[in-house]
């Protein structure tokens, strides 16, 4: 086949949903040839590109891992002679983040970058489930909050170890005699009902979580951001607090604080020794945002000294590594390995949106003012 008649190719560096309607459609397969590359090292990726220089790679499907395994997509790779700068129109991701990609270099070479978003319906796919990620991550937050109050997982661990309900409850109470089950050493098992929860950040995840905590667990919802959302404060009866230094004096009233903020220079180490010093000693702290928002040493010290009741995390400071001090304390912590949005529904929908963006970019149908998922 001559270069002139060769179809453009889509390079998959991550697995797409095999049952995807778009991936298996006649339109997609008539337009593109499919290439697959399992990323292992930067050198092997470059070698793959060298071997496929004639394949007119017009799009790269990054999925969820994207270029993480080879240290990101930096300018050195983008400007390598074998990188398909002249043919490549877009890179699509299934995650919301774009860490590790050199956005300036992509912009310079007019390579579009799309990530996942479901806050707006861009009309790309049928039956888009709005706020699907927010809903599913909120489920994860709900579990961590419940763990902090009820300690079900620790009770399950003791039940499995002892094979006896009475012995499991007695061991949890750490004393002789009958144990009702409401004691865990010097700690009491409590209901979340009527307790106050502060949500830091009120995007899709924060809003979905607030609804679940209010309607499902009966908690009183407070939220903290730079400015008030008056319609929400009124209709939901959620109480607003400004995200500035005035928040410190208010922290003592909350039994739970959930972080749903993005990781930025402004939010790095937001939860530090000073912040924790103002908190209730019965605080349940849950991080669904980014690992760097927590000052790891300050949080570890607070747990060790009994300054907070529980830490729940779905994100980690040195991800994918789980902090050792968090890992070993199963009585005071709950851990999920960054799987807040890891559901079949999100996997399938993110794949469909990514593939639809490839079709859109390849056809040139980019409405700049309406394309919410386009980063570059």
Does residue 228 have a pLDDT over 60?
A: yes
Does residue 298 have a pLDDT over 80?
A: yes
Beta bridge partners of 9: 33, 57
Find the radius of gyration of the CA atoms of the chain: 24
For position 250, what pLDDT does the model report? 98
From 52, 96, 269, 338, active-site residue: 338
Q: How many Å apart are CA 238 and CA 215, to the nearest integer?
A: 12
Query: Is 85 assigned a catalytic role?
Result: no
Query: Is 53 assigned a catalytic role?
Result: no
Residue percentage of the chain with pLDDT more than 90: 86
∠ Cα 163 169 173 (to 5°) = 140
| Confidence band for 369, pLDDT divided at 50, 70 and 90 | very low
Q: How many CB atoms lie within 10 A of CB 234?
A: 9
Q: How many Å apart are CA 71 and CA 270, to the nearest integer?
A: 27
Does residue 367 have a pLDDT over 80?
A: no
Query: Is 290 assigned a catalytic role?
Result: yes
Coarse DSSP helix, strand, coil percentages of the chain, rounded to the nearest 5 percent: 35, 15, 45
| Confidence band for 364, pLDDT divided at 50, 70 and 90 | confident
Does residue 3 have a pLDDT over 70?
A: no
From 190, 229, 319, 348, active-site residue: 319
| Confidence band for 372, pLDDT divided at 50, 70 and 90 | confident
For position 91, what pLDDT does the model report? 97
For position 256, what pLDDT does the model report? 98
- Average pLDDT (121-142) is 95
What are the tens digits of pLDDT across the range 181-221?
999 999 999 999 999 999 999 999 999 999 999 999 999 99
3-state secondary structure (DSSP) of residue 347: helix
Does residue 13 have a pLDDT over 60?
A: yes
Q: Comparing 254 with 3, which gets the higher pLDDT?
A: 254
- Average pLDDT (283-289) is 98
For position 374, what pLDDT does the model report? 87
Residue 268: HSE in the Cβ half-sphere, 13 Å Cα cutoff: 4
Does residue 25 have a pLDDT over 50?
A: yes
What are the tens digits of pLDDT across the range 246-280?
999 999 999 999 999 999 999 999 999 999 999 99
| Confidence band for 329, pLDDT divided at 50, 70 and 90 | confident
Please report the domains of the chain, with CATH numbers, ordered by start residue.
9-115+345-363 (3.40.50.720), 132-151+189-335 (3.40.50.720), 152-188 (no CATH)
Does residue 1 have a pLDDT over 60?
A: no
pTM of the model: 0.92
98, 249 Cβ separation under 8 angstroms: no
What are the tens digits of pLDDT across the range 141-159?
999 999 999 999 999 999 9
261, 200 Cβ separation under 8 angstroms: yes
| Confidence band for 2, pLDDT divided at 50, 70 and 90 | low
Mean pLDDT of the chain: 94
Q: How many Å apart are CA 92 and CA 114, to the nearest integer?
A: 5
> Which residue bears the tokens 């019965």?
282
From 144, 290, 310, 360, active-site residue: 290
Beta bridge partners of 139: none
């Amino acid at each position: 086949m001559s270069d002139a008649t060769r179809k453009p190719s889509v390079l998959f560096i991550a697995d797409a949903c095999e049952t995807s309607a778009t991936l298996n459609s006649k339109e997609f397969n008539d337009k593109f040839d499919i290439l697959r590359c399992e990323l292992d090292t930067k050198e092997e990726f470059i070698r793959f590109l060298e071997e496929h220089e004639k394949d007119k790679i017009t799009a790269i499907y990054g999925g969820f891992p994207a270029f993480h395994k080879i240290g990101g997509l930096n300018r050195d790779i983008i400007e390598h002679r074998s990188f398909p700068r002249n043919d490549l129109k877009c890179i699509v991701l299934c995650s919301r983040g774009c860490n590790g990609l050199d956005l300036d270099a992509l912009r310079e070479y007019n390579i579009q970058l799309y990530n996942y978003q479901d806050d707006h319906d861009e009309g790309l796919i049928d039956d888009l489930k709005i706020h699907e990620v927010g809903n599913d991550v909120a489920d994860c937050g709900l579990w961590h909050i419940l763990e902090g109050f009820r300690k079900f997982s620790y009770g399950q661990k003791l039940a499995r170890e002892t094979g006896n309900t009475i012995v499991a409850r007695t061991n949890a109470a750490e004393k002789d005699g009958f144990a009702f089950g409401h004691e865990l050493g010097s700690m009491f098992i409590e209901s979340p009902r009527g307790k106050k929860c502060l949500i830091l950040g009120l995007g899709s995840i924060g809003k979905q979580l607030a609804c679940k905590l209010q309607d499902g667990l009966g908690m009183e919802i407070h939220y903290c951001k730079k400015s008030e959302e008056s319609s929400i404060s009124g209709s939901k009866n959620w109480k607003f607090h400004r995200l500035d230094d005035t928040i410190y004096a208010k922290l003592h009233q909350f039994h739970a604080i959930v972080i749903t903020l993005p990781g930025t220079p402004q939010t790095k180490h937001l939860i530090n020794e000073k912040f924790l010093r103002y908190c209730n000693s019965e605080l349940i702290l849950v991080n669904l945002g980014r690992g760097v928002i927590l000052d790891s040493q300050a949080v570890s010290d607070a747990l060790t000294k009994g300054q907070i009741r529980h830490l729940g995390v779905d994100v980690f400071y040195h991800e994918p590594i789980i902090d050792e001090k968090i890992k070993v304390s199963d009585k005071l912590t709950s851990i999920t390995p960054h799987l807040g949005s890891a559901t079949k529904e999100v996997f399938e929908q993110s794949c469909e949106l990514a593939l639809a963006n490839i079709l859109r970019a390849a056809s040139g149908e980019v409405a700049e003012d309406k394309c919410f998922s386009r980063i570059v």
